[in-house]
Amino acid sequence: MGPNGWVRVDCHLHTVASGDANLTLEQLAERARRSGLDVVCVTDHNETSAAITAAANRDLGIRIVVGEEIRTPDGDLIGLFLTERIPYVLPLGEVVGRIRAQGGLVYVPHPFDRIRASLGAVLPAMCERGDVDVIEVFNAKIDDPALNDQAAALAAAYGLPGGAGSDAHDAAGVGAAWLEMPGFDGPASFLAALPQARITGEYRPHAVRYPRRVQ
């Protein structure tokens, strides 16, 4: 935590528990400290085991928010401040309800990404229903700034706060994006502090998971 009581928060990244990442908890902690991060939201794909383990490990030296990036038939949705795993491929409305039932926040990642499963097509209707708490307005894995700008414009249109995440799947990705914001002690104060957040971020592509062998 900085001297003014503010913290740096990465709202979205993955560990080896995701199945498509190679970032261990030890690597995450080391890279987060080197990057000056105070809080990391571990949002593995359809899994919370690593996040729960990390949150209980005070030796990591960083604060962990338990999250999960959940596949739905309409696209991917993140729950933050979860207490238990939510199954994947449930209907979108049921996933929103399960996140809220745990006292968690509904966070929409990379809403207009053209490659990954994103909720852009249904997001305006979700916002109209009040089903969204935070829209990710900066994702460090998106190479077209216009897509992040589109997310920011939608968040502004509905008066919703913006989040930022490295979406790191490897050690090199940690520190690519964060929010600098007032300190918080739970989902309600996190949400209340978000309008004051300042975004820092840069594009960093995913490392190749399976490098091509040299013949």
Q: Note the pLDDT tens digit of each residue in 78-125.
A: 999 999 999 999 999 999 999 999 999 999 999 999 999 999 999 999
Q: Tell me the pLDDT tens digit for each residue of 178-201.
A: 999 999 999 999 999 999 999 999
DSSP-derived secondary structure for 96-161? HHHHHHTT-EEEE-STT-SSS---TTTHHHHHHHT--SEEEEEETT-S-HHHHHHHHHHHHHTT--
Return the SS3 of 40. Answer: strand
Query: Is domain 6-201 classified as CATH 3.40.980.10?
Result: no
Domain range summary for the chain, segments of one domain joined by +: 6-201
141: nearest Cα among 21, 17, 19, 8 = 21
- How many whole angstroms separate alpha carbon 172 and alpha carbon 169? 8
Count of CB atoms situated within 10 Å of the CB of 73: 11
The pTM of the full predicted model, rounded to 2 decimals, is 0.94
In this predicted structure, what is the pLDDT of residue 23?
Answer: 96
More confident residue, 121 or 206: 121
